[in-house]
Structures are given as structure tokens and as C-alpha cells.
Amino acid sequence: MNYKAEIQKLLFSQYLYSGTRMALAILVPSLILAYFGLLKEYFLFPLATSFIGFADQPGPFIRRRNSLILAVVAFSAAALLASILRFHPILVFIGLGLLGFWFSMVGIYGQRLMAIGSLSLVVFSIFMDGHLIGENLLQSQIVYTLGSLWFVLVFLVMSKLQPYKLAGQMVGENYLQLAEYLQIRAKFYLNRPQYQLLYTEAITKQIEIKNLQEETRELVFKTRTLVNESTTTSRVLMLLFLNSIDLYEKLFTTDQNYEKIQDQFHDKAILPEIHQYLVGLSQEITNIGLALQSGLKSRSLTDLEHEHAKVYTTYFELRSQELCASNLRQFMALRLILKRLTDLKDQIKSIYRVLSQDEKIAKSLSSGLDLQKFVPKEAPLKLNILRNNLSLRSAHFRHAVRLTVALLLGYLVSQFAFLGIGHAYWILITILAIMRPAYSATKHRNLRRLYGTILGAIAAYILLQYVESSGVLLAIMLACMISCFALLKGKYAWAVFFMTLYIFIAFNFLNPGNVNGLFRDRILDTALGTLIVFLVSYFVLPLWEHTQNLDLMKKLSHSNSNYFNTVIEVLQKGQSSMHFYKLKRKEAMIDLANLSDNFQRMLSDPKKEQRKLQTVHQFVNTAHLITAYTASLAQYTGENPQFQEIDYEAWQKRIAFELEMTIWLLQGDTLALAPSPVRDIKPRDPVKPLLEKRQTELQEEKNYNVQDPQKITHLTQLNSIQEILELLYDVAREQRKIIETYTKFVKA
């Protein structure tokens, strides 16, 4: 492991940056208030700052600004309403039910409103409890609103001082994720690789990359500063993000049978050398990502051309010693792998040139794309969308009902005097933090919330027993706050651990000596909250992943069919709209990641709800291969047709027919099973005679040993295209057969 790179990833990450900014925004006014002895009286100020900070979701400046202003209004209104109702439990119960349902349903309008709605309920829960509110209601409201506006001010100032900071960090994170993906792919060249485990790792990483690309795409394409400004920085960031998407397509390609490659060359030096070279390229991509996140210029870590030449030297030596008629195809496959390495190397060098922020390169940038069509769509704020979702068929409606029931149960439990609940709002906050629309996601967070809270409470209890220095405790609290905010998205259990630590220390500052009561309340309230969440998510209108399989499979089948037809038409005609091609590629990649994510969540559902699990798994695997083979085919597209010997028309009819039949079957059209003349089409094979001729030459020792890394025979590329098309047809046919079984099960 490269520990230096790992430390740099942590130090320069957007999560640490935003976590540090948020922690300082909370701590600085807290220290000032503590200095004047006013922290306990005005504790609502830093508390409001923290909530507004949590509402700040990554994205374009205008959307972030507007959502923060909306959050200030929503949180202040929720605080005022809860403060008025808190002396009347019946009214609190009714208000919690109505607000719980309303703020849950606003999630249909996007992630930002979902976050604001959830945090509004947290604010309502805290204020209805009354522990943190002073006797003067008006003063509490003013202090809370000022604390909210303080974070908005910090956000506006930092955005003005560092307008490109978030964009640079997120684009850099894309490269870091691509580097990790390449390291996974490199393991296929190790001796005796565990193929299924590696494929699973690759799919998991693809899901992460897809989610990150969607967030970054919105930020880069929707931010006017980045799209329209003529500054070098804005143009470079745009170009680097577009390059990261093209690089992902190159890494995603699958046009080789790794098992056959391993069988032929597992005891040769070439495969370990390819592995090592890919690891080196992944380190270069990591270096690019770190440079973007840190805002510093960077150059290549190694001499890429020298390392590239070493791999080719090993290959040419092996070819001169062992190439013969019987292993010609295997050497052709190996030569194509080396070509992929050359393409990767050239693209990385190109990215380094862009990263140097050369003004001429930046000014020449013209994507030629309608960028708005590549941005994820958010539901418009129309009432008819809300009305249409007021149905048990709506996942949002079912989630709103579950969350509302859980909140009401949590409030009722908190009123049981025999339990001696000290901080009732902790139960409700636990419910709000854990419960998600999908059972699997709720289960995942439920366990991590419980583990993190218990371990954090134990650590905090020990810490407060033995550490008395206020300065030391303050430093630890700051470190815990930064760690919590930085880890909240990716490492939830650790985030909860550090959150529990800093909450204990903060409450100890406000009310010294109450650590025993705090420990009991935190553990008990969290345990009750997690228990309520489990029961409600399991028994109240649960949303099982298998109910979404069919829709996601339909979407992916359509997008894969469109992607394939677009690519093969480019190969056939030699020209196509780059905008149209990239749009179809984006749709296929996103839909593949969505179905893969759905399948992985399905594994967390109860066994009885994992319906037709094996069939769905087979569909995911074949869909992955179809997308990857199509991406491999796309690597042969160019401005002019170069491989017209291939019978593209016949191949397109055969493969497109199988893909269309899968779509028809998923839609319930049994006519797809009827006989069709397309099945009898046999594409001509231009490769076979050329291959036989070359094998004869090898048998007659006519081996023209040209050792030029830039030269790859036309036959090698023709053979690759032909094999990819054959694989595509076989996989498309296999997928159709899988769906025949699946649809029979669904109808039954």
C-alpha cells in the first residue's frame, strides 16, 4: 500500500475539507460564547449552525445557496412550531404525524429537499423536547435563526474565495475512484486470480463511480461559472471531467477471456509485468486526482514511455520464442491487451498536459455537447407530482408512512415514565438518521448506528473519567467533529462513533459531572430507536428490492440495445453525432450501475424476499458483459470506416434481434418466442481465411518479426472485432433465455 498517497487522499479530500469547514463554523462562535460565559445560554447558535451544515449538499452554487436559504426558513418554522406545541402532548403528537408525513413526501423533489425535510423533523424533535430552550421563546428563536444564517454567511464567503474548490475536489475524486477501479482490473493478471470475487469488486466500484459521476456532472455542467467562463481553470476542470468519463469507458472495456489468457501465459513473465504496469498507471491516475484536490500542479511520477517499452520488450521476446500456428489467437489477444495499455498511457499523458493548465489547450476546449442533457433531472416543483405519489404504489408514499409511524411510536415510548427517558429527542433523531426508503439500506445503517453509538459512548465515558483538562477535551472534540463530518458519507459507523464522542464532550461542557446519566440515556435511546426502526421497516409497508427488479431490467435492456445500435452504426458508416453517442453511453452505464446496486441491496433483504435471486444475478452478469463488450467495440470507432470486411449489417440484425426479444419478454410480449428468419442469418467470416493464411505462414516459418509497439496488424484488430461480435451475440442470446425463465416465474 502507498501510505503517502493514502494520507494525501485523506488530507485533500472534499469530505475532510467540508468537515473541517463545518467544524470550525460551529466551534469558532462556540469558543467566543464560552469565553464570555454565554455558551450555555446561547447553545442554540452552534446547534443551528450544525444543522444548516448538514443540509449543505454538494452541487452547483445557485442550488446550494437556494437550498440553504430554504433550510433556514424551514428549520426556524419547525423550531417555532415545536416551541409553541411542546406543552401539549396531544398537539405535539398530531404535529409530529403531519410534519413527519409532509417532510418525508418532499423527497420526491430530489435529494436536497429530502435532506432539508429530514433535518426539519430533527429540529422539531429537539425543540418539542424543550431541554435546550430557554425561558424566553423569542430569544431562542432569534439565536437559532442567527446560528443558521452564520453558516450561510460562511458558505457565501468560502464560495467567493475559492469558487473552484469543490469542483476541483470532486473531479479529483473521480480520478481517485478510477485509479482504484484500475487496480481491481490489474488483479486479473495475477497468478490464479479469483475471478468471481474480482468481478464483484469491480461491479461495486462501478456503482460508486456512477454515483460520483452523477454528482460531479451536475456540479460541473450546471454551474454557470464553469460552463460559460473563459478562465483557464474553468475550462480545464470541464475538460478533465470529460476526460475522466472517456477514461472510464477505456477501463470498463472487456474484450478478452482472462481464463484463456491465464491458461496460455500463466507461467510467463508477461502477465506479472502487465499487472505491475497497470498498478503504475493507477498510481499516475491517483497522482492526477490528488493534484486536482490539492489545487497544485503535478507531473508524471515515472517515465511512462520507458515503463511502456519494458512491457513490450517482454512481449516481443516471448513472441519470438513461442509464437506458432497453434497459439496464434492467444498471442493476438495478448497483443490487443498491450494496445489497450498504449491507449491508457496516451490518455494519461494527455490528461497531464491538460492538468498543466496550458492556456492554448484550455482556450481550444469545445465539448460540442448539449450539457444540459447529461445532467440528472430533478422533479419540478409541481403539485400534480405530489398527488400522483399519494398511492401505495409509490415508494415515497410507503416510506413516508413508515417514517411517520416510527416517529409516532418513538414519541409514545418516550412518554413512558417508567423508562426514565432523559433525552426523548435522541430516539426520534435515531429514527430519522437510520430509516431509508429501502429495507436493505435501513438495515445497513441500523446496525452501524447501534455499533457506533455503543463503542463511542464507552470511549467517551472512559475519556471523561480520566481527562480533566478543558484544553485537551476541546482539541479532542474538534478532531472528533472533523472526523465525524468527513466520514459521514462513506464510513457511517465510524462517523457515529466520533459523533457520540463529541456530543458527550459538548454536553459535559454544558453540564459537568453528568456523564453517567448521559451514558445511560444515549445507549437506551439509541437502542429503542433502532428497535422501532427494525420493527416498522419490516412490518409496515416494506419495500423489497425484488419489486424493482423488473423495471430496472427493462430500462437497462433498452439502454444497452440503444448503446449497441449506436456503436455498430458508427462502425458501419464511420460517422455519428458525438453528443448522441455519449448520451447513449451514459444511459447504459447509469442503468447498469442502478440494477447492480439493486441486486446488491437485494442480498440484504430477508431470504423469503430474495425472489428469483439466481436469475436476477445471471441477468446482471450478462447485462454487464453486454455493456462492456459494446464499450470494447466502441474503441474501434473512428472518423473513417477501417474494418469494412466485417459483416456489420448481419451482426447488427442478429444481436439487435436478441436484445429486442429480451425487451419484449420483459414487457410480457409472448410473440417474442415466435420463429423469425433473423435467427437463420449467418454473417460472413472474413477473418477465417486470413487467419488460416497466417497460420500457414507460421508453419512455413515465414515469421516477420517486426518489433514495433506502434504497429498492430489489421488481422489482429479484425479478429478482435469478430470475436467481440460473437461474444455479444452469445451473451445476448443467453440473456434472452434467462428472461424467458424469469418472466414465467413472474407470471406464476
DSSP string, 268-310: SSHHHHHHHHHHHHHHHHHHHHHHHHHT-----SS-HHHHHHH
Helical ranges in 36-130 per DSSP H:
44-55, 61-85, 89-105, 111-129
Pick from 358, 360, 367: which is nearest to 226 by CA?
367
Pick from 315, 342, 312, 328: which is nearest to 719 by CA?
328
Pick from 375, 399, 433, 393: which is nearest to 106 by CA?
399
Question: From residue 344, how far is each of 205, 246, 277, 284, 341 by CA, in Å?
Answer: 19, 10, 11, 11, 5
Grid cell 445497513 is found at 444
Pick from 602, 568, 560, 601: which is nearest to 584 by CA?
560
Mark which of 501, 516, 542 sits at the end of a domain. 542
| Cα distance between residue 176 and residue 156, in whole Å | 28
Q: CA-based Rg of the chain, rounded to a whole angstrom?
A: 29
Residue 121's pLDDT is: 94
- Is 47 part of a structural domain of the chain? yes
- Whether 38 and 155 map to the same domain: the answer is yes
- Whether 521 and 570 map to the same domain: the answer is no
- Is 18 part of a structural domain of the chain? yes
Pick from 725, 370, 376: which is nearest to 582 by CA?
370
| Cα distance between residue 172 and residue 328, in whole Å | 41
- Whether 207 and 258 map to the same domain: the answer is yes
- Whether 288 and 307 map to the same domain: the answer is yes
- Whether 152 and 108 map to the same domain: the answer is yes
- Asked if residues 398 and 392 have their Cβ atoms less than 8 Å apart, the reply is yes
- Asked if residues 37 and 500 have their Cβ atoms less than 8 Å apart, the reply is no
Mark which of 369, 402, 436 sits at the end of a domain. 369
Question: From residue 232, how far is each of 235, 356, 368, 678 by CA, in Å?
Answer: 5, 10, 18, 53
| Cα distance between residue 600 and residue 440, in whole Å | 9
Per-run averaged pLDDT (10 residues), the chain, 748 residues: 69 83 91 86 90 88 90 93 89 93 89 90 88 77 93 92 86 93 91 85 88 83 60 78 86 73 85 92 92 84 89 88 82 85 89 73 52 57 81 88 94 80 81 88 88 92 88 89 86 91 86 80 89 92 87 93 90 72 86 90 87 88 90 76 80 91 85 64 78 71 60 80 89 91 60
At residue 479's C-alpha, the angle toward residues 478 and 485, to 5°, is: 90
Pick from 244, 241, 171, 178: which is nearest to 209 by CA?
178
- Angle between helix 328-355 and 232-252 (nearest 10): 170
Q: For residue 255, give the CATH number of its domain.
A: 1.20.58
How many C-beta atoms lie closer than 10 Å to residue 32's C-beta?
Answer: 13
- Asked if residues 522 and 425 have their Cβ atoms less than 8 Å apart, the reply is no
- Is 375 part of a structural domain of the chain? no
Residue 230's pLDDT is: 56
- Asked if residues 596 and 207 have their Cβ atoms less than 8 Å apart, the reply is yes
- Whether 181 and 303 map to the same domain: the answer is yes
Number of domains in the chain: 4
**DSSP string for 386-399:** HHHT-STT-HHHHH
- Is 293 part of a structural domain of the chain? yes
Range of the domain at 335: 172-222+231-369
Q: Side-chain half-sphere of 354: how many Cα atoms within 13 Å?
A: 25
- Whether 654 and 728 map to the same domain: the answer is yes
- Whether 325 and 400 map to the same domain: the answer is no
- Asked if residues 527 and 426 have their Cβ atoms less than 8 Å apart, the reply is no
- Is 383 part of a structural domain of the chain? no
Q: Side-chain half-sphere of 650: how many Cα atoms within 13 Å?
A: 14
- Whether 650 and 703 map to the same domain: the answer is yes
Grid cell 450555555 is found at 40
- Is 44 part of a structural domain of the chain? yes
| Cα distance between residue 313 and residue 708, in whole Å | 10
- Is 95 part of a structural domain of the chain? yes
Residue 67's pLDDT is: 92
Question: Per residue in 218-247, is it b (16+ CB within 10 Å) or e — as a string?
Answer: bbbbbbebbbeeeebbbbbbbbbbbbbbeb
C-alpha dihedral, 593 to 596 to 598 to 600, nearest 10° = -130
- Whether 157 and 179 map to the same domain: the answer is no
**DSSP string for 658-688:** HHHHHHHHHTT-GGGGS--GGGG-----SHH
- Asked if residues 269 and 145 have their Cβ atoms less than 8 Å apart, the reply is no
For 665, left (φ over 0), alpha (ψ -120 to 50), or beta?
alpha
- Whether 719 and 578 map to the same domain: the answer is yes
CA 429 to chain CA mean position, Å: 26
Question: From residue 426, how far is each of 43, 414, 454, 503 by CA, in Å?
Answer: 17, 10, 14, 12
- Is 443 part of a structural domain of the chain? yes
Residue 680's pLDDT is: 67
Mark which of 521, 542, 563 sits at the end of a domain. 542
Cell (9 digits) for 560: 444497452
| Cα distance between residue 532 and residue 410, in whole Å | 7
- Whether 574 and 698 map to the same domain: the answer is yes
